[in-house]
Amino acid sequence: MAEAGENPLASSEVERPPVSLSKADGAAAPRAGAATPLGKNGNKDYVPGAVRRNRAYGFILALFVFIADQATKWVVTFPLDLQFRREIEILPFFDLRWVENRGVSMGFLTASNETTRWLLVALTTAIALFVAIWLWREKRRDDAWGLALVLGGALGNIVDRIRFGYVVDFADLHFGEWRPFLVFNVADAAITIGVLLLLLRALLTRKEKPLKEGNT
């Protein structure tokens, strides 16, 4: 028995029963060095289903643009013989006009010889590869669609340049004598629309950031 004035807790140790964790109480913490199973949130290589769908839809859209571009070029080249007829009037503001474009989209960076032709092929192939990698990693659907349009159009024009040494352009949009664009093709239109979508998305993102910072 403890003497008067003496703290009983200081003179003797209080025994506590050992605590055991049951299944109802929850699992014990893993030992140091023990392997922890990786789940959806723990696996750094896990890709959410929505991202995989956006990626798949993007490459499908790129393939569709490529097929549409090559199909229209085949129609104007062979069934319509546009390279011999040179021009076919379709509407008062739209004609089919044969143009051999030895540059990139919309006639820029013209290749004047075989060396510059293959340098241009290498350059556009590198750009297409970069866009394909970007599309593979892109998580946003709208950006993925813009990249898909650029990729499909770039591949269509690259195939032309490898096969013929030039890109087949045929779409001539005009209003009287005024032409808002050079003669173009499906690939050029897809590239232009894709770039505009990416630029619009970038501008909207820049406008959203100051608003979020001001609300914090």
Q: Is 188 marked active-site?
A: yes
Going across the sheet that includes 94-101, the strands are: 87-91, 94-101, 167-173
List 69, 160, 169, 172, catalytic entry: 169
Nearest to 105 by CA among 168, 180, 164: 168
- In a 3-state reduction of DSSP, which class is residue 88? strand
In whole angstroms, give the CA distance from residue 181 to residue 177: 12
In whole angstroms, give the CA distance from residue 85 to residue 98: 8
Q: Residue 208: left if φ>0, alpha if ψ -120 to 50, beta else—which one?
A: alpha
The catalytic site residues sit at: 169, 188
